[in-house]
């Protein structure tokens, strides 16, 4: 039926179609570049498996959870959890977070690993998201600090980052979706 359709090798979309992102709807949409019409659903000729893989590897938006440990040099060095002023050194914050990440990553069962992540985020993270198990929800590019965003968008769903630093402190991130 669609034998003469040329598909984009990366996205799986038919030639002449482009993928865009709606920040207001927080989802992708599809534009026929010749007619300028836009649609929420991909064109019928789309290779859906390629499109899905492309969106996983090149997301417009991600959902992530994180654990943040602030230190005395952090931007706004106060814990959202306790409202206390942070006096921890950057080195000690990094040591603590490295130890916590190791505890998480030593768990082989993925469900148990993510439960441990949630537990630590609620008990130890200095971010206001700690009450939501570290969940930052869905965010698109340009909404987070660049160092944080770069890490979150490099991960695949289900991956947990190494420790890294932002202006807010030291983090580990779990890309949920």
Low-confidence ranges of the chain (pLDDT < 70): 1-4
Kindly state whether residues 76 and 52 are assigned to the same domain: no
Q: How far is residue 14's CA from residue 44's CA, in Å, rounded to a whole number?
A: 9
Q: How far apart are CA 15 and CA 139, in angstroms?
A: 29
Distance CA 38, CA 29 (A): 7
Tell me if 104 is assigned to some domain.
Answer: yes
Residue 4's pLDDT is 64
Query: Tell me, what's the pLDDT at 28?
Result: 92
Task: Report yes or no on 169 lying in a domain.
Answer: yes
Whether 34 and 87 share a structural domain = no
Q: Which of 34, 57, 80 is the last residue of a domain?
A: 57
Q: What is residue 23's predicted lDDT score, i.e. its pLDDT? A: 83
145, 168 Cβ separation under 8 angstroms: yes
pLDDT value of residue 3: 53
Flag whether 36 is in a domain. yes
Domain assignment present for 135: yes
Q: Return the active site residues.
A: 66, 127, 145, 168, 171
The last residue of one of the domains, among 5, 27, 57, is 57
Could you tell me if residue 145 is inside a domain? yes
Q: Which residues, in sequence order, are CB contacts of 150 under 8 Å at separation 6+? A: none
Structure tokens at 107: 């768990």
Residues 91 and 34 sit within 8 Å (Cβ to Cβ): no
Contact predicate 166/145, CB 8 Å = yes
Q: Are 66 and 128 part of one and the same domain?
A: yes
**CATH number, residue 43:** 2.20.70.10
For residues 25 and 85, state if they share a domain: no
Distance between CA atoms of residues 87 and 83, nearest Å: 12
- Determine the pLDDT at residue 2: 45
Q: Which domain holds residue 92?
A: 61-175
In a domain, 141, yes or no: yes
For residue 12, tell me if it sits in a domain.
no
Q: Establish if 38 belongs to a structural domain.
A: yes
C-alpha dihedral (105, 116, 69, 135), degrees to nearest 10 = 110
Tell whether 163 and 95 lie within a shared domain: yes
| Domain co-membership, 110 together with 147 | yes
Cα–Cα distance measured from residue 96 to residue 101, given in angstroms and rounded to the nearest whole number: 9
Kindly report the CATH number assigned to the domain that includes residue 79: 3.10.50.40
């Amino acid at each position: 039926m669609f034998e003469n359709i040329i598909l984009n090798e990366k996205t799986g979309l038919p030639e002449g179609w482009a993928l865009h992102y709606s920040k207001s709807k927080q989802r992708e949409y599809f534009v026929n570049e010749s007619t300028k019409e836009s649609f929420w659903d991909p064109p019928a000729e789309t290779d859906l498996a390629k499109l899905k893989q492309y969106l996983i590897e090149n997301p417009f938006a991600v959902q992530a959870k994180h654990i943040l440990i602030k230190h005395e040099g952090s931007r706004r060095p106060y814990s959202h959890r306790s409202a206390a002023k942070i006096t921890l050194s950057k080195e000690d914050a990094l040591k603590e977070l490295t130890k916590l990440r190791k505890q998480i990553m030593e768990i082989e069962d993925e469900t148990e690993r993510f439960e441990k992540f949630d537990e630590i985020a609620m008990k130890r993270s200095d971010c206001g998201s700690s009450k939501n198990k570290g969940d930052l929800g869905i965010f698109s590019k340009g909404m987070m600090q660049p160092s944080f965003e770069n890490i979150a968008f490099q991960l695949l769903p289900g991956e947990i980052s190494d420790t890294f630093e932002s202006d807010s402190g030291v983090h580990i991130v779990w890309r949920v979706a």
